Copies of this chain bind each other. A is one copy, B any other.
Amino acid sequence: MARYFKSDNTAPVAPAIMDALAAANQGYCSAYGDDPWTERLAERFDQLFERKVRVFPVATGTAANALALATLVPSYGSVFTHEQAHIVRDECGAPEFMTGGARLQLLPGEGAKLTPAALTRGLADHPTSVHTVQPRAVSISQATELGTVYRPHELHALSTLAHAHGLAVHMDGARFANAIAFLGCSPAEATWRSGVDVLSFGATKNGAMAAEAVVFFDPDRAADFEFRRKRAAHLFSKMRFLSAQLLAYIDGGLWLQLAARANAHARRLAGAAGDLLLHPVEANEVFVRPGAEGIAALRAQGFAFYDWGSTDSGEARFVVSWDQPDEDVDALCTALEGIRSP
């Protein structure tokens, strides 16, 4: 039977979240978010982020990202983002769709991170006029697609530059929990205190069934989000079940506990991978280069994972899930060590 390291979305739902769904399944309440769970969610997110925010539950990370961007960027606008970003490579053009055809302008950067230098270069390479799309946002991933994590001072530097050029800052936080667990700072420090304007707060990959939240730190920016969410068919009638998932997810710090466990396992894998390792392991993703033979050997041992990079790169990605069995990790450590010293 396979040991799944393909993605953290191959995992089941955390028991506390299943319990919360059962608990929410009592009696009648108004639909579309006019319910006690969603009301409590608003309060809890204000506390979590230590300020008044606007929080909107949706069910997929792609919805969170694309709807957030649609609120920030007009159809004739553009978004600077990393060329490896999920919004670029894994969303089938959802940002273009939700914005009405805005463009993603791609920037390079080590570890899938944007830097002020790269953004400065991007802006210089794309002088604007009536003939060009108009840059209006920067989108970054935290943790990134290569499992690295922006430090608050990095976020601050990027945001300051972005704002100086009239660009809003969006953070794709599909693995926000893993990033916060790594940083050990407050969610506020890693977002609005560092200049982030809108956050896609992920939960699905870290133990929820299907729940994400779009968080606006400047409530004014949220003006038309509700219409866009409804129009894109992402307003749930039985909203209580989205809100209940998110409430349970943050209750008692569950989200950080789950993420910390996955991160710790990933660090163990990093240690086992040794010089096969491709990027610093700061969250729950481990990128290695076992070579074609090594990859075949790992598959033969029942590990399920994705090849990475170009076709014959000999690279692989392993993602550790919130409840990844210890023995899966043990086995993979052993297998990686075996490839290093056969």
A interface residues, Cβ below 8 angstroms from B: 2, 4, 6-7, 9-13, 18, 21-22, 25-32, 58-63, 66-67, 74-76, 78, 89-94, 96-104, 106, 124-125, 127, 130-134, 204-205, 209-210, 224, 226-228, 230-238, 241, 304, 310-311, 321
Contacts and interface: CB of A to CB of B under 8 A. Distances in A.
A106 to B, nearest CB: 8
Nearest to A324: B28
Given A21-B21, A89-B132, A76 B9 contact: no
A125 B238 CA distance: 27
Number of copies: 4
Most chain B Cβ neighbours within 10 Å, of A27, A100, A227: A227
A74 B228 CA distance: 10
Given A60-B234, A63-B233, A93 B133 contact: yes
B12 A93 contact: no
Given A204-B238, A226-B130, A238-B210, A26 B6 contact: no
B94 A103 contact: no
Contacts of A6: 30-31
A231 B321 contact: no
A101 B98 CA distance: 9
Contact of A91 (B66, B96, B233): B233
A4 B26 CA distance: 13
A327 B30 CA distance: 19
A76 B28 contact: no
A233 to B, nearest CB: 4
Contacts of A134: 227
9 contacts: A18-B22, A21-B209, A32-B130, A75-B231, A76-B231, A90-B131, A96-B103, A130-B230, A204-B237
